[in-house]
Structure 1
Amino acid sequence: MNGDWLIRGRDGRLSVYLPAGDTVLCRAELGADGRWEPPRRVGGEQKLRPGPAFGQGADSYAHLAAWRPTKPGESGLVHTTHFRPRLAALDWASIGHPDGTGDRTGSPAVTVDAQGRAHVFVRNRAGGMSMRGQKQVGGWGPWRDLKGRDVAERPAAVVGESGRVELYAAVPGAVLHWRQEEPGSVPVLEEALETPVRADTLYALATSAEHTTLFYADEADGLWAWRPGSEPVRLLTSAGPGPLRALRCRLDGHDCTLLARRSAAGRVAFAAYPTEQESAGAWWTESGPPLPEDALVALALDEGGRVVAATLSPSDGRLLVTRRKDEPGLALEAWREV
C-alpha cells in the first residue's frame, strides 16, 4: 500500500483501508468506545491488482487509486472517492494508463490539492513519472509526462500547506523532487538530491508554510530528513525494516514530528522531535507486541487531537490500534485488536 491507510473522516471517525485479495476493504469506528464496524468492500465489485494508493484532502475526503486487470497482459488505473467512512465509496472509475495501453508500470501514489482535486502519479513504461489530475469542474485532465528516468516503484506524493502538490521519487543514487509552481499547474522537476537512498522508504510530510520534508533511509540504515533547497540531515539510525510513517502533532504544547516504523525486534518503534528542528535529536522507543514481518504501521490524529497508531498485517488481516494517553509525553494505551 502507498499512502496513509489510517485516516480521520469528515465525521471525525477513524477508518482504515485493508487490502484483501483482489479488493480493498474499509473499517470505520462506531464511536469513541473502541467499537468498529465489520469490513466493507470499497468501490463496488471491481477486481483490483495488489498495491492500492491512498490520499486525503483538506475536506477530509479519502481518494483511492489502484490498478485493475483489463485483458490478458494489460491493466488500467481506477480511482474512487470516499466521502465519509460509514457511507459507501463511489464506484471505481477508470482513469486509464500513462502509456495508453499496457500492463502495470509501478505503484501509484495519490494526493489531493487545496481545491479537492486528486492527482494520481505512477511510473510510466519509459521509467519516468506520469500524472493525471482531476479538473476543477469535474472529470480528469490528460496524462502528463513529468520526465525523469529510472524512477523506483513507489513515489511519495504530498500537498504542502500552500496547497500545492509535490512529488518525490527515488532513482539510483538520488531523489527527484517535483513541485507545482502555482495551484492547478503541472508539477515540474525542480531538484535532484544525490544520496544513497533506499527506494522503498520514502515518506513526505508538510512541515511548515514553506516546506515539505522527505524522510528516507540510506543503504547504511541511517534515517534522513530533507527539505528541498537545503542539505539533508541524518536524524538517527533506522529502527528496522519496512515503510516509515510520519505525523505532525502537538506533544506537551509543542509542534512535533512523530515517526513510526516496525523495529528489527518486530514491535512498533516511535521517535519524536520538534518539527523542522532535526538538530534537537530523536531516539526510538518501542511499544506493543511483536508483529509479523509484513506488518505495516500508520499514524493519525483522532477527533480530540490525540495521536492514534495502528498496525496491519496483510497476511492475516490482523488490525491493532492504540491511542495516546491523556498525560505528558507519548504514553500510549494498551494495544487492542479490532
Structure 2
Amino acid sequence: MNGDWLMRGRDGRLSVYRLSGAAVLCRAESGPGGPWTAERKVGGDQKLHPVLALGQGADGYAHLVSWRPTVKGEAGLVHSTHFRPRLAALDWTPIGHPNKKGDRTGTPAVAVDAQGRAHVFVRNAGGGVSMVAQKEKGGWDPWRDLEGTEVQDGLAAVTGESGRVELYAAVPGGLLHWRQETPGAQPVRQEALQAPVRPGTLSALATSADGTTVFYTDTSGDLCAWRPGGKPVTLLPSAGSGPVSAVRCDLDGHDCTLLAQRSASGRVAFAAYPTELESAGAWWTESGPRLPLDARVSVATDENERVVAATLSPSTGGLLLTRRKDEPGLALEAWRQV
C-alpha cells in the first residue's frame, strides 16, 4: 500500500484500509474512541490487482486508487471516494492508463488539493511520471506527462498547507520533485537532489505553511530528511525497511514530527523531534509486541488530537492499536487487538 492507511474521518472516527485478495476492505470505529465495526468491502465487486494507494483531503474524505485487470495482459487504474467511515464508499470508477493502454506500470500515489480534487500519479511505461486529476465539478482531466527518466517505484505525493500538491520520486542517484505553482495547475519539475536514495523508502509530510519534507533511507541505511531549497539532513539510522509513517502532533505544547517504522526486531519503533528542527536530534524507542514480517505501521491523530498508532498484517488481518496516554512525553497505552 502507498499512503497512510490509518485515517481520521470528518466525523472524528478512525478507519483502516487493507488489501485482501482482489478487494479492499475497511474497518472503522463505531464512534470516536468506540468499538470497531466488522470489515466491509470498498467500491463494490470490481476485482482488483493487489495494489492500493490512499490519500485524504482537508475535508476528511478518503481517496483510493488501484489497478484492475481489463483484457488479458492489460490493466487500468480505478478510483473510489469514501466520504465517511459510516457510509459505503463509491463504486470504483475507471480513470484510464498513463499510456492509454497496457499492463500495470507502477504503484500509484494520491494527493488531494484544497478543493478536494484527487491527483493521481504513477510511473509510465517510458520511465517518467504521468498524472491525472479530478475536475472541480466532476469528471477527470486528460492524462498529463510530467516527464522524468528512470523513475523508480514508490512515489510520495503530498499536499502542502497551502493546498498545493507536490510529488517526490526516487531515481538512480537522487530525488525528483514536482510542485504546483498555483492551485489546480499542472505540477512543475523543480530542483533535483543528488543523493544515494534507497528505492521504496519515500514518504512526505507537510511541515510548514509553504514547505513539505520528504523522508527517505539512503544506501548506507540512514533515515534522511530533505526540504527543497535546503540540504538533506541525516536523522538517525533507519529502524527497519520501507518508508516511515509520519504525522505532525502536539507533544507537551511543541509542534513535533512523529515517525514510526517496524523495526528489525519486529516491534514498532517511534522517534519524535521538533518539526523542521532535525538538528535537535531524534532516537528510536520500541513499543509493543513482535509483529509478523509483513506487518505495516501507520500513525495519525484522533478526534482529541492524541497520537494513535496502528499495525496491520496483510497475511493475518490482525489489527493492533495504541493511543498516547494523557500525560507528559510520548507514553503509550498498552497495544490492543481490535
**TM-score normalized with structure 1 length:** 0.99
Please state if 1:88 is matched with 2:88: yes
1:299 — aligned with what?
299
Tell me how many residue pairs correspond in the alignment: 338
Cα pair 2:216 2:243 within 8 Å, conserved: no
1:181 — aligned with what?
181
Give the Cα separation in 1 of the matches to 2:42 and 2:141: 24
2:272 — aligned with what?
272
Deviations 1:172-210 (A, max 9, x none): 111000000110000011111011101111000000002
Distance 1:268 1:89, change over 3 A: same
**Mind listing any 5+ residue stretches in structure 2 that lack a counterpart?**
none
Give the Cα separation in 2 of the matches to 1:243 and 1:114: 25
Give the Cα separation in 1 of the matches to 2:80 and 2:68: 13
Equivalent residue of 1:191, what SS? coil
Give the Cα separation in 2 of the matches to 1:267 and 1:206: 27
Please state if 1:215 is matched with 2:215: yes
Give the Cα separation in 1 of the matches to 2:82 and 2:273: 33
Deviations 1:254-288 (A, max 9, x none): 00000000111000000000000000000000000
Give the Cα separation in 2 of the matches to 1:111 and 1:223: 23
**TM-score normalized with structure 2 length:** 0.99
Deviation at 1:34, TM superposition (A): 4.5
User: What amino acid does structure 1 have at the position aligned with 2:61?
Assistant: Y
Give the Cα separation in 2 of the matches to 1:179 and 1:240: 29
Cα pair 1:243 1:296 within 8 Å, conserved: no
2:19 — aligned with what?
19
User: What amino acid does structure 1 have at the position aligned with 2:175?
Assistant: V
Give the Cα separation in 1 of the matches to 2:85 and 2:130: 29
Query: Could you say what the CA RMSD is over the residues aligned between the two structures, in angstroms?
Result: 0.7
Deviation at 1:33, TM superposition (A): 5.2
1:230 — aligned with what?
230
Give the Cα separation in 2 of the matches to 1:51 and 1:74: 15
Residues 32-111 of structure 1 aligned to structure 2 (within 5 Å): 32=32, 34-111=34-111
Equivalent residue of 2:305, what SS? coil
1:262 — aligned with what?
262
Give the Cα separation in 1 of the matches to 2:290 and 2:32: 26
Cα pair 2:128 2:150 within 8 Å, conserved: yes
1:319 — aligned with what?
319
Identity %: 72
1:192 — aligned with what?
192
Equivalent residue of 2:200, what SS? helix
Deviations 1:34-74 (A, max 9, x none): 41000000000000101100000000000000000001100
User: What amino acid does structure 2 have at the position aligned with 1:141?
Assistant: D
Equivalent residue of 2:279, what SS? helix
Cα pair 1:177 1:190 within 8 Å, conserved: yes
**Mind listing any 5+ residue stretches in structure 1 that lack a counterpart?**
none
2:118 — aligned with what?
118
Deviation at 1:32, TM superposition (A): 4.5
Distance 1:217 1:67, change over 3 A: same
